[in-house]
Amino acid sequence: MTTKVDLKDQHSEREMDNDLLADALVRLSTIAKHLNISSHTLQALSQPLCTLTSYISIRKDNGESAYFKAYRCRYNSLLGPTKGGIRFHPSVDQSEVEALALWMTLKCAAVNVPFGGAKGGISVNAKSLSALELERLSRSYVRAMADFIGPQTDIPAPDMYTNERVMGWMMDEYETIKRVKAPDVITGKPLVFGGSVGRTGATGTGAFLCIEALAKKRNWQKHKQTVAVQGFGNGGAQCALLLQKAGYKVVAVSDSKGAIYSPEGLDILSILYEKQKSRQLKAVYCENSVCELVSHKVLTNEELLALDVDILIPAAVAGVITEANAGLVKAGTIVEIANGPVSAAADSILHEKGVFVIPDILANAGGVIVSYFEWCQNRQGELWSEEQVTTKLSDYIHKAFEQGWQRHVSTNIDMRDAIYAQALERLTLAIEAHGTHDYFNAN
């Protein structure tokens, strides 16, 4: 008889209040208990494989030296080389990086991508750096991590406040250190360096495909479905744009400074244009280069989360829906583009309210799926067309959604539990293939 593992017991309530990894492990343990997942799988996921931390320095434009804490976690490599983004943000710490790497492990397994999970980051306010300082920081990070990453070991990608240019700098620095050409060491690169078409908008596109799949199941009239998007970065903006084009009514969007709301609906393309031009979020309608301010209400991000809409899309940071505010959520459907936007404690409240949640490990998996495509193209020396990438992405998302949906319907469990189940089952198969206690004891 194998010993049961309760990941919740390993962390005190005090730790879970401010420890993202502890919260992620509590959710994992709770779901695994409901699904009767093997204790061997929980043990394998209870701790990261390895985490490298480093203080890195750069010379600032004024001649001063600046120091930053940097991290890279390879959480689990059962299914393949580890994969995960690099974020530049003041909130980055070891717990966050390890939690994100755990979710990436589950995400890759859920959508059947042959990668393990990883994540990296630097605790920095990227907005405070000049372009040259940002390049120095990016290259310094790779110098610290060069022996920890690699095309067949751990493949980074862009994340919060990093982009394809940053990935290009990082790839160039890795190649300089290793004295090789290695486009497959980094994904999310510029096209000219071996990047893939469709990678930049893949996260938002994947979430949109999930919503479209749900719309077919629910027979929605799209023009009657109202949407609020909390977070107007790459993923949230792309998803909002696709939703509006498909006929949904996007009534609210927000960035780090606040939200705008119009019950008649917003023109997302015009808002994107104005934000790029003025760095401000405004409800505008643009005809060519002329923009006109339209009637809208200014809200806080907290008020946006409580709007009476059909679909709520948290697309900013982790932990925005908690035990304290979950009861205020009025949306019938939540689509998690951000990683971990709903805390473990909030899950039960949303369940009692009948809120349907498409979990982050499916909803935001478009990015890692197309990163896998990019890695494959680099390894094969090929360049796929946009049509190939789009078709393959749709196939992966719809297959994973359909498997989760059928389990959700047949067993009457939450969609989050259903998607976690298919991820944990694939990881369990990998563990059992190596042999478990039962195998070696001839059971």
* DSSP states along 378-425: HHHT----HHHHHHHHHHHHHHHHHHHHHHHHHHT--HHHHHHHHHHH
Are the C-beta atoms of residues 73 and 156 closer than 8 Å to each other?
A: no
Are the C-beta atoms of residues 315 and 253 closer than 8 Å to each other?
A: no
- Give CA angle at 195 (392, 97), nearest 5°: 85
State how far the Cα of 292 lies from the Cα of 305, in Å rounded to an integer: 27
Catalytic residue positions? 119
Q: In this structure, are strands 311-314 and 333-335 parallel, antiparallel, or unpaired? A: parallel
State how far the Cα of 231 lies from the Cα of 237, in Å rounded to an integer: 8
Strands (E), 213-363: 226-230, 249-255, 258-261, 284-287, 290-293, 297-299, 311-314, 333-335, 356-358
Residue 129 Cα distances to 86, 125, 188, 191, angstroms: 17, 7, 22, 25
C-alpha closest to that of 250 among 240, 242, 260: 240
